[in-house]
Amino acid sequence: MSVAIVAMLAGALGAHGFAGGAPLRTRVARARTPHTVVVRMEAPDWIGAAAHSEACKDPPTVLNAEQIMAILPHRYPFLLVDKVVEFEPGKRCVAMKKVTANEEFFIGHFPNRPIMPGVLQVEAMAQVGGLVALQPPISNAGGGKGDFFFAGVDGIKWRRPVVPGDTLTMEMELKTFKERFGIVKMVGKAYVDGKIALEGEFTFALVKAKE
């Protein structure tokens, strides 16, 4: 085998070889035969569960699942917000959705390549917007009283697929609220591992609860 071919093999193994979820290191050493090289695979340093858990820990919870359900009318399997990690009343909200392999929509979307449907990503972001709109000072009653409907979306762009194991971290920010007409406009972005997955502008119709 030529030096060039074996070197290419070493590069491929270095890019795609994995052990325990971490890439294998490769060491290329020239053998005594002039036109061959020896590729040795070296396992990476073991990190361990505690270090991975520390690196992946969530920020402190502001609203948990029970508190979210006290505000939003959605329930399983259509409640798409797990926790709120940052909240500014009447202005903006950051929330998380942990996407697991057990989501019902993965049964058909798609059986051999599970991807979270784009429309459900938009719906999840709308629910984050609802957490802002259905509480004071936007909603007069708060606590999930009142109705919140989609009125339009604009400029929606998907930047990457969302798959099982991802955590979709979403931020919705209120831009305008026309109280007389109950029209709420927001902008939102969603991220996976710090990289943007979805962004767009949202318009909602808010029907306040009767006092």
pLDDT tens per residue, range 26-49:
555 555 555 666 666 666 799 999
Examine residue 77 and say whether the peptide bond preceding it is cis (omega within 30 degrees of 0). Answer: yes
pLDDT band at 7 (very low <50, low <70, confident <90, very high): very low
Q: Which run of H or of E encompasses 130?
A: helix 118-133
- Residues designated as active site: 109
Q: 91: closest CA among 127, 124, 63, 129?
A: 129
Instruction: State yes or no: pLDDT of 19 exceeds 70.
Output: no
Across residues 114-142, what is the average pLDDT? 92
Give the contacts of 137 (CB within 8 A, at least 6 positions apart): 89, 90
Where is pLDDT greater, at 162 or 10? Answer: 162
pLDDT tens-place string over residues 147-165? 889 999 999 999 999 999 9
pLDDT at 167: 97
Token look-up 């109950």 returns 182
pLDDT recorded at residue 31:
53
pLDDT digit string (tens) for 157-209? 999 999 999 999 999 999 999 988 999 999 999 999 999 999 999 999 988 76
Tell whether the model's pLDDT for residue 106 goes beyond 80: yes
User: pLDDT category, 112, cuts 50, 70, 90?
Assistant: very high
Span 63-102, pLDDT tens digits? 999 999 999 999 999 999 999 999 999 999 999 999 999 9
Note the helical H segments in 20-85. Answer: 49-55, 65-69
Q: How many whole angstroms separate alpha carbon 59 and alpha carbon 66?
A: 18
pLDDT of residue 207: 83
Please, what is the average pLDDT of the chain?
85
Per-residue model confidence (pLDDT) at position 6: 40
- What the chain holds in terms of domains, given with CATH numbers, is 3-53 (no CATH), 58-208 (3.10.129.10)
